[in-house]
């Protein structure tokens, strides 16, 4: 990636007296932070809008109420600063690449627990962190943190050791002796699959995703109008009250005002809430809300609903969603004259520099964008006024020099987020794009409100059983949407989408052409994720067919059963890898009532419309996932046979279909009861 730390210099070649004044961050030639500062502001080097707390604060508090910047911790403070400085300046010894400012922030968060442990155990420097002490530190978090979190936490010591030649306060030896942080955590060697890279992000279970997304769609499509009309009416009331308030306030206090409040603006805001409360509550009640607080809560859910609709149907990452601005939705014809909808934002992941990108979405996302645009309009209007105030203040010759950098930063942040689609106002003059921790908190509240409670049927495939528990709301997080989206599209490509089918119907295997062409900067990485998930789903299906004794039907199913029943010894070290290798030679598609393995042969696609063809086709496999479908087919034939006016040909066709359905169900191990079917002729007992 592009090195954002080209302004950093070699500390070891720098005079000791000059080190405190070394520049850490700057913007447009204005120095923001220096080495000696208690806070390193890295915001000029962080492009993503969803990153919060873009600064390193060295005033870490320890168990004895002392802080890192106290004189007695000077050695530890300087060691930490030098490590972070060199970590940012140098290429990683293992990766051979420069890290981003965002990664440096993560390194600081990993370093803080270590510093606290060192102070608590009276270890004054890294030179005294022997391997024995490092292992003691590792063991302390055993059973407290998840393995993945614990491994990340311990890697900071390995990184510190890797940079030893550039540090003054060096670790005396490799921190883990003859082991590694991973083995200390896992007590076993990692599998090859885990080393190569495994998808560890939780997939939102289909049943719960349906609940969450349908609730979000309900807010966007049905409740948004009422919520926003009520909100806008209350804004008008407050504007009227504010005019009266400001006039009376200026008359009463012509020479200024002093109170317990932080500022005059804060006092006026509190007074305005009191003065407008009665009329605002009346409006809320008229629109069907119990109180103004209830309306405010529902507006927050509406904002989250817009986020969910955009995330669930686009495959965008949290940082990319935070980059969306007003006007990001568009429609246009593709190369095949079909009209498709697109979201335009910025992609940051795996790119040397942020770049514009587009994501294909269904029509309903346009509705969510329209709602979010209107929802955030008052905040954007207030932001415009704030920007004007800041620009006037910065142009004033009476502005103190020390206040200029802070005010300039506030202005830059305000301009940066002013056009954000999903916008949040933390306090006056502080607006942000919704993302990061704020998004996660909002998403979990929405999941709980929508009733997305985990059931036992949702636990299949769940990795983190400490976080995901039966009987509790699904721990919804922003990063889950991308992989969940990829899985749903992959299932659609395989003809196996059962939930939210309407909103994924625009995706077919041909849609990958739009992404592979990369017209207008389309984000092609989402296709890689989709195809990976499709291959994984196919591997799981093949693995279940091959490695178990589960019954199969259909011509292809009987071939697989015959393969399993051979007397030859079959030895496979990893069934999932075996399933992947087998999957390289087939392309499984779902018909709804079977799996089709045909490639240039078979029924030519007629089996999509005539399920009976799949029962004898050598390319069709029917497994237990289709039992309910075939029960339905059987029941349909029984109902039709009860009709007294069907002709002989139709009757015989129904009987043939009934017998075929019963053969399939018998193959799949489903017990079939005898069924007497009335007939205009003497009653006949059908085989069952």
Task: Find the mean pLDDT for residues 599-611.
Answer: 73
In 3-state terms, what secondary structure has residue 502?
A: helix
Q: pLDDT for 337-388, tens place per residue? A: 677 888 999 988 655 578 888 888 889 999 999 999 999 999 999 999 999 9
**pLDDT greater at residue 351 or residue 156:** 156
CB 380 within 8 A of CB 419: yes
Predicted pLDDT at 518: 44
pLDDT at 433 > cutoff 80: yes
Percent of all residues in the chain with a pLDDT value above 90, rounded to a whole number: 41
Closest by CA position to 495, among listed 396, 617, 588: 588
Q: What is the 3-state secondary structure (H, E, C) of 301-364?
A: HHHHHHHHHHHHCCCCCHHHHHCCECCCEEEEECCCCCEEEEEEEEECCCCCCCEEEEEEECHH
This prediction has a pTM of 0.71
**Cα angle value 217/224/308 (rounded, 5°):** 35
Residue 276 tokens read as 């407008």
> Mind listing the pLDDT tens digit for each residue in 79-101?
999 999 999 999 887 778 888 88
Model confidence pLDDT, tens digit, residues 619-630? 889 998 889 999
As a whole number of angstroms, the distance between CA 328 and CA 344 comes to 5
pLDDT for 13: 87
- Residue 493: pLDDT band (50, 70, 90) is low
Beta strand 675-677 with 684-686 is: antiparallel
Mean pLDDT of 169-194: 62
Q: Is 592 left (phi over 0), alpha (psi -120 to 50) or beta?
A: left
- 511 pLDDT exceeds 90? no
Are the C-beta atoms of residues 616 and 643 closer than 8 Å to each other? no
Tell me what pLDDT residue 516 has: 47
pLDDT score, position 348: 81
- pLDDT bracket for residue 563 (50, 70, 90): confident
The Cα 539–Cα 180 span in angstroms is 32
The residue ranking higher by pLDDT, 77 or 409, is: 77
Q: For residue 235, what pLDDT band results from cuts at 50, 70 and 90?
A: very high
The answer to which of 194-203, 425-434, 443-452 has the lowest mean pLDDT is 194-203
pLDDT tens track for 632-688: 999 998 888 888 888 888 888 888 899 899 999 999 999 887 555 555 454 445 554
Instruction: Please report the pLDDT score of residue 399 as a whole number.
Output: 79
Strands 39-41 and 55-57, bridge-based pairing: antiparallel
C-beta of residue 225 within 8 angstroms of C-beta of residue 287: no
Q: Taking a C-beta distance cutoff of 8 angstroms, is the pair 33, 27 a contact? A: no
Q: What is the pLDDT of residues 439-457, one digit of tens each?
A: 999 999 999 999 999 999 9
């Amino acid at each position: 990636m592009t090195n954002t730390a080209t302004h950093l210099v070699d500390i070891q070649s720098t005079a000791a007296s000059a080190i405190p004044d070394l520049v850490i961050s700057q913007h447009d030639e204005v120095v923001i932070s220096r080495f000696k500062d208690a806070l390193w502001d890295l915001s000029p080097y962080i492009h993503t809008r969803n990153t919060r707390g873009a600064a390193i604060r060295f005033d870490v508090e320890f168990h004895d109420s002392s802080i890192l910047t106290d004189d007695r911790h000077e050695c530890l403070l300087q060691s930490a600063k030098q490590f972070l400085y060199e970590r940012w300046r140098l290429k990683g010894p293992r990766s051979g690449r420069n890290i981003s400012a965002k990664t440096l922030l993560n390194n600081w968060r990993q370093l803080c627990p270590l510093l606290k442990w060192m102070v608590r155990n009276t270890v004054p420097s890294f030179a005294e962190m022997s391997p024995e002490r490092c292992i003691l530190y590792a063991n302390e978090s055993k059973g407290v943190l998840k393995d993945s979190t614990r491994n990340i936490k311990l890697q900071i010591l390995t990184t510190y050791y890797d940079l030893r030649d550039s540090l003054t306060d060096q670790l005396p030896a490799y921190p883990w002796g003859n082991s590694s942080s991973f083995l200390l955590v896992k007590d076993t060697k990692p599998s090859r699959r885990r080393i190569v890279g495994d998808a560890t992000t939780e997939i939102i279970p289909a049943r719960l995703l349906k609940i969450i997304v349908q609730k979000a769609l309900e807010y966007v499509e049905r409740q948004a109008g009422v919520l926003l009309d009520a909100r806008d009416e209350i804004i008008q009331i407050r504007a009227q009250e504010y005019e009266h308030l400001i006039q009376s306030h200026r008359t009463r206090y012509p020479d200024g005002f002093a109170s317990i409040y932080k500022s005059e603006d804060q006092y006026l805001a509190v007074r305005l809430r009191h003065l407008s409360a009665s009329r605002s509550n009346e409006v809320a009640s008229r629109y069907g809300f119990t109180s103004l607080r209830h309306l405010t809560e529902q507006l927050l859910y509406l904002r989250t609903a817009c986020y969910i609709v955009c995330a669930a149907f686009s495959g965008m990452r949290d940082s990319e969603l935070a980059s969306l601005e007003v006007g990001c939705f568009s429609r246009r014809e593709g190369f095949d004259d079909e009209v498709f909808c697109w979201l335009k934002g910025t992609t940051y992941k795996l790119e040397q520099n942020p770049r514009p990108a587009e994501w294909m979405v269904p029509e309903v996302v346009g509705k969510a964008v329209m709602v979010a645009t209107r929802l955030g309009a008052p905040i954007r209007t207030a932001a415009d006024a704030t920007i004007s105030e800041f620009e006037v203040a910065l142009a004033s010759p009476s502005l103190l020099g020390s206040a200029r950098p802070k005010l300039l930063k506030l202005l830059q942040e305000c301009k940066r987020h002013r056009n954000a689609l999903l916008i949040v106002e933390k306090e006056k003059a502080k607006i942000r794009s919704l993302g990061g921790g704020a998004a996660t908190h909002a998403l979990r509240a929405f999941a709980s409100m929508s009733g997305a409670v985990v059931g036992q049927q949702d636990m299949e495939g769940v990795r983190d059983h400490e976080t995901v528990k039966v009987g509790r709301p699904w721990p919804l997080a922003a990063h889950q949407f991308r992989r969940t989206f990829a899985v749903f599209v992959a299932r659609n490509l395989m003809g196996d989408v059962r939930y939210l089918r309407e909103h994924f119907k625009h995706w077919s295997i041909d849609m990958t052409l739009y992404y592979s062409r990369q017209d207008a900067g389309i984000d092609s990485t989402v296709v890689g994720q989709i195809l990976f998930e499709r291959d994984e789903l196919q591997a799981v299906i093949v693995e279940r067919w091959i490695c178990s004794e589960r019954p199969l039907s259909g011509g292809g199913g009987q071939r697989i059963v015959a393969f399993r029943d051979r007397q030859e010894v079959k030895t496979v070290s990893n069934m999932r890898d075996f399933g992947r290798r087998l999957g390289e030679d087939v392309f499984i598609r779902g018909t709804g009532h079977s799996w089709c393995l045909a490639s240039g042969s078979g029924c030519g696609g007629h089996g999509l419309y005539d399920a009976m063809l799949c029962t004898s086709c050598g390319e069709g496999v029917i497994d237990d996932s289709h039992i309910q479908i075939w029960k339905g087919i059987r029941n349909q034939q029984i109902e039709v046979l009860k009709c007294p006016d069907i002709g002989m040909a139709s009757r015989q066709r129904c009987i043939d279909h009934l017998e075929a359905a019963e053969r399939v169900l018998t193959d799949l191990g489903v017990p079939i009861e005898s069924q007497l079917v009335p007939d205009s002729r003497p009653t006949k007992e059908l085989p069952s």
